[in-house]
Chain A
């Protein structure tokens, strides 16, 4: 089945530093990837839609200058949390679309970000 690899699975960083999270589709090409944020015991909140070769589309309330998304190839999207603060600590999950827009999403394992 389709596999999405997300790296790193856990990262701890200091306030003010930047962190990059990678999301790769291992055995399929994904023209569209999605980035979600999940707070403890809560549902997934869509942050942005990443399309290969174009600028990401951010959801309302998500700062695009803080959460930089790059989708440089059909198998890789990256999310960079810039100048991280403790309130950015969260679980970030990427997903990739294999096939048509109404296909099931394949999710990565998530990244637990802790900003100290």
Chain B
């Protein structure tokens, strides 16, 4: 994988459902993986930055895992609420690319009340 790919592109869930999405990234020379939450008409806000294989991070009902050997990260939302509706972006950086972030296109989540 040369680029950062996110799936699914969009997701509609009911309030209370738990959901997860995937970020695939280049695993060679991996350095860090970022997750951001981007609400409509606002600016992206950082959720997590992860660097170590097997790392797990949690913020309230949102958690993320990281597998650097196979090049993927999962973002989980437990008990989705309407306020979780947003686009979730991931970005990775490799040791060799001058630490520049490569961004995915995002997963757009809509939580219906």
Is chain B a partner of chain A in the same complex? no
